[in-house]
């Protein structure tokens, strides 16, 4: 945050009534995108804003990225694409999750571009365009090792040879293991995609997602498409995260109580207190996207990983006690001095003191899931130091 940062928007629950709050630092988001754009050069850099911009809101994220220079966006669904167009009408928007024929009128009217990933979709798109003087553009997705969406490499090569007058405007593939820099599958995917590009001469290509931008083999492609790294997530496993945290999630303390040594806490009596324990009960739970698997005890994950999640307050990390429940989570604040935490105060769940990915690991998951699971009961504050958007 900077001295010029302004509180530009408030959404979600009334702060007087909400049990938790989210602070979204749009300056950090823009700084992350600019860093990724610099690393991608000479390629242009798009932005993946599917899942409502990873849970942060297309309506807030897209305008600041547009202002920063982003002109191309990727979404999963056409409905999301329409929301991007509503706030950035001149943006180029690619829709990743396949094409259904009944949606064709929407593509005609909205200037969205589908990413076609099967021979069936290509045939359908061609048939629907048959009556048009000017054919609508599309991108082509080729599977080079993910075994998810996309034509096989052989299908794509045949298509390139048979369709001289019907070329995509963009050729893409998706990396399966780019966050593991030395994984052999990434090597094979880069090599396969490079050979494939020879059959689509003159057509722009895109392979690099967030971790792909940091991969040593990422060179010579025209468009990168970062997602989670923009939102503060780790792009590559095992190295220090170069991205700034974007989201701070906090839960409000409802009550502080003392449990006596030998007593238990929470559902299932899974947490037995080994000392007199001061407990902060906070208004957050799995209904808010704070996952039950982060519980301090009483969940299968604790059989594999000893430690559950933790919060941060008064300069210290405080562990979760017992199970995360639907609406409430308990933290052990015994290490804090009396008066350092009280009802009404906030405990950080993740942010600048507990990283998004550390919070996710404690729950046995990834930062993507925490972000996209954020519920609608939080009070949301958007901060931005740029001009009015």
CB of 193 closer than 8 Å to CB of 211 = no
Show binding-site residues for substrate.
148, 326
Q: What CA–CA distance (Å, rounded) separates 232 from 359? A: 13
Show binding-site residues.
148, 326
Q: What is the pTM of this model?
A: 0.94
List the catalytic residue out of 4, 50, 286, 346: 50
Q: How much is the pLDDT for 307?
A: 87
Q: What is the pLDDT of residues 79-121, one digit of tens each?
A: 999 999 999 999 999 999 999 999 999 999 999 999 999 999 9
Q: What is 247-354's CATH topology?
A: Lyase, Ornithine Decarboxylase; Chain A, domain 1 (2.40.37)
Q: How much is the pLDDT for 1?
A: 40
Q: Specify whether 107 is catalytic.
A: no
Q: How much is the pLDDT for 237?
A: 87
Q: What is 26-231's CATH topology?
A: TIM Barrel (3.20.20)
Query: Which residues are paired to 158 by β-bridges?
Result: none
List the catalytic residue out of 135, 195, 261, 267: 267
Q: Which of 18, 44, 4 is nearest to 380 (CA)?
A: 18
Sequence-ordered list of residues with C-beta below 8 angstroms from that of 4, at least 6 positions apart, any chain: 385
Q: How much is the pLDDT for 389?
A: 45
Q: What CA–CA distance (Å, rounded) separates 327 from 53? A: 25
Burial class (CB in 10 A: 0-12, 13-18, 19+), 126: middle
φ/ψ region of 136 (left if φ > 0, alpha if ψ in -120 to 50, else beta) reads: beta
Q: How much is the pLDDT for 3?
A: 43
Q: How much is the pLDDT for 5?
A: 57
Q: What is the pLDDT of residues 1-45, one digit of tens each?
A: 444 556 667 888 899 999 999 999 999 999 999 999 999 999 999
What residues of the chain score a pLDDT lower than 70? 1-8, 387-389
Burial class (CB in 10 A: 0-12, 13-18, 19+), 387: exposed
Tell me if 26-231 shares its fold with 247-354. Answer: no
Joined together, the tokens standing for residue 118 give: 């099967």
What are the φ and ψ backbone dihedral angles of 200, each rounded to 5 degrees? -125, 50
Query: Which residues are paired to 171 by β-bridges?
Result: 140, 205
Q: What CA–CA distance (Å, rounded) separates 263 from 111? A: 63
Segments making up each domain of the chain, as ranges: 26-231, 247-354
CB of 213 closer than 8 Å to CB of 235 = yes
Q: Specify whether 50 is catalytic.
A: yes
Q: What CA–CA distance (Å, rounded) separates 89 from 335? A: 53
Q: What CA–CA distance (Å, rounded) separates 48 from 52? A: 10
């Amino acid at each position: 945050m900077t001295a010029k940062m302004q509180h530009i928007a408030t959404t979600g629950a009334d702060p007087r009534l909400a049990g938790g709050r989210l602070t979204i630092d749009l300056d950090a988001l823009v700084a992350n995108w600019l860093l990724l754009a610099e690393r991608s050069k000479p390629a242009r850099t798009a932005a993946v804003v599917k899942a409502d911009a990873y849970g942060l809101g297309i309506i807030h994220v897209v305008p600041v990225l547009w202002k920063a220079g982003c002109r191309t966006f990727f979404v999963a669904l056409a409905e999301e694409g329409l929301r991007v167009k509503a706030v950035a009408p001149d943006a180029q928007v690619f829709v990743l999750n396949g094409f259904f024929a009944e949606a064709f009128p929407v593509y005609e009217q909205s200037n969205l571009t589908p990413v076609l990933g099967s021979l069936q979709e290509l045939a359908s798109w061609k048939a629907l365009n048959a009556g048009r003087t000017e054919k609508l553009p599309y991108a082509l997705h080729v599977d080079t090792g993910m075994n998810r969406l996309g034509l096989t490499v052989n299908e794509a090569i045949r298509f390139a040879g048979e369709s001289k007058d019907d070329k995509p405007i963009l050729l893409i593939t998706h990396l399966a293991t780019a966050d593991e820099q030395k994984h052999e599958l990434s090597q094979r995917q880069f090599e396969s995609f490079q050979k494939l590009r020879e059959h689509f001469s003159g057509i722009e290509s895109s392979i690099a997602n967030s971790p792909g931008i940091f991969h040593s083999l990422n060179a010579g492609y025209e468009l990168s498409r970062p997602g989670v790294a923009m939102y503060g997530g780790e792009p590559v496993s095992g190295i220090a995260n170069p991205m700034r945290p974007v989201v701070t999630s906090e839960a409000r303390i409802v009550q502080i109580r003392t449990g006596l040594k030998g007593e238990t806490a929470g559902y299932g009596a899974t947490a037995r207190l080994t000392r007199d324990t001061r407990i902060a009960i906070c208004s957050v739970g799995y209904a808010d996207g704070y996952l039950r698997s982060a519980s301090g005890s009483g969940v299968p994950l604790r059989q594999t990983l000893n430690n559950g999640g933790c919060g941060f307050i008064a300069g210290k990390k405080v562990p979760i006690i017992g199970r995360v429940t639907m609406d409430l989570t308990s933290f052990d604040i015994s290490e804090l001095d009396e008066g350092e935490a009280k009802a009404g105060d906030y405990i950080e769940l993740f942010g600048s003191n507990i990283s998004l990915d550390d919070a996710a690991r404690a729950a046995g998951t990834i930062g993507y899931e925490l972000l996209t699971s954020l519920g609608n009961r939080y009070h949301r504050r958007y901060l931005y130091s740029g001009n009015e958007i």
